[in-house]
Structure 1
């Protein structure tokens, strides 16, 4: 307040836009759901589950957006009423689009695609008129120095690769996690400790890596490798 520069306002409840607002909203919503027979997911804390007479209702939260589905339509109707009794909200009907995913619901299954997301990233990076190629560069063109060339914007490049990796991650059915470790032996000259190196990949994508001195003094190269392996998979 310009009239009182030495004073600050204290809000009595969370306001939309404040950094603590998402947490306050989640806690309010979660408490209400738990009081009405829902159980929180053990892995995904934004997933809530309710079972009733052999039927099940799943509800997923993303900030202030909610999607839900059940094996019984009456459960969906009662859940919608439950939410409107407590909160001011609107229902947009059957799910067709959520977080970049287009959803088509048919009698033989629920199908997800990202045609809209693909079109958006192609437009973002100026590739809407691009032509497909079997290799990233001409195989007959030698790699020579280009003194007049401009440096590549590494931030745009990383954003481009990350956007494409999202498509690959969602499309891949089996997400395999692989870890690699290595160690020298007594490489530290002062305390003779070995150094561990390791990296972890999820679906061929590097997600974590480390290089650090081991906390114990290995008495053999085999022990040093075992310590590195244990640290890499911990």
Structure 2
């Protein structure tokens, strides 16, 4: 690490070092430090951290339940009570710089759609991107190499010499 511009050490022979007061974005431990700070704030609000998934936090119960899920630096906030959601969002905004992206549409390869019957998840876009990345988007379906009605038996046929 280089000393800040304009800083002159007391002697040219000293072996001064810089002490890092907080983590810097981009370092290996930066995301861990951010998650620790975020967790403290969320727990302070009254959320409970899930034991099976440490990035999942739950607050309240029944109609007042709010679920908060963290993935790297993305946060999903879900619940039935809109006012309660806005309160949590305002609380988080006091402690962190947030950008509200509106209703969830895509997350980790999932496409999320809402309608009157509920919420549906689809990985159509993810699958299409995967086919496009592997240059197999224009591939045509092929028959299986064995007849679909073929019956396999433990006692019929020849045994493999070197299974």
TM-score (norm 1): 0.54
Q: What is the DSSP-based 3-state SS (H/G/I as helix, E as strand, rest coil) of the residue aligned with 1:74?
A: helix
Residue 109 (1) aligns with residue 107 (2) = no
Counterpart of 1:56 (choices 45, 58, 65) is 65
Q: Which has the higher strand share?
A: 1
Residue 22 (1) aligns with residue 18 (2) = no
For the aligned residues, what is the CA RMSD? 2.4
Q: What is the DSSP-based 3-state SS (H/G/I as helix, E as strand, rest coil) of the residue aligned with 1:11?
A: coil
Q: CA deviation at 1:2?
A: 7.1
The correspondence of residues 65-84 of structure 1 with structure 2, limited to 5 A, is: 65-84=74-93
Q: What is the DSSP-based 3-state SS (H/G/I as helix, E as strand, rest coil) of the residue aligned with 2:142?
A: coil
Q: What is the DSSP-based 3-state SS (H/G/I as helix, E as strand, rest coil) of the residue aligned with 1:30?
A: helix
For residue 143 of structure 2, what is the aligned residue in structure 1? Answer: 134
Whether the 8 Å contact between 2:59 and 2:67 is mirrored in structure 1 is yes
Q: How many residues align?
A: 137
Structure 1 ranges of 4+ moved more than 6 A: none
Whether the 8 Å contact between 2:50 and 2:57 is mirrored in structure 1 is yes
TM-score (norm 2): 0.76
Whether the 8 Å contact between 2:63 and 2:80 is mirrored in structure 1 is no
Q: What is the DSSP-based 3-state SS (H/G/I as helix, E as strand, rest coil) of the residue aligned with 2:65?
A: strand
Q: What is the DSSP-based 3-state SS (H/G/I as helix, E as strand, rest coil) of the residue aligned with 1:117?
A: helix
1:31-80 per-residue CA deviation (whole Å, 9 max, x = no partner) reads 01111111001211110010068510000000110001112111111111
1:187-215 per-residue CA deviation (whole Å, 9 max, x = no partner) reads xxxxxxxxxxxxxxxxxxxxxxxxxxxxx
Whether the 8 Å contact between 2:57 and 2:69 is mirrored in structure 1 is yes
Counterpart of 1:36 (choices 38, 45, 55) is 45
Q: CA deviation at 1:105?
A: 1.2
* In structure 2, distance between residues paired with 1:126 and 1:7: 55
* In structure 1, distance between residues paired with 2:34 and 2:27: 11
**Residues 7 and 132 from structure 1, CA distance in 2 versus in 1: closer, same or farther, beyond 3 angstroms?**
farther
Counterpart of 1:97 (choices 106, 118, 125) is 106
Show structure 1 runs of 5+ residues with no match: 140-234
53-62 or 33-42, which moves further after superposition? Answer: 53-62
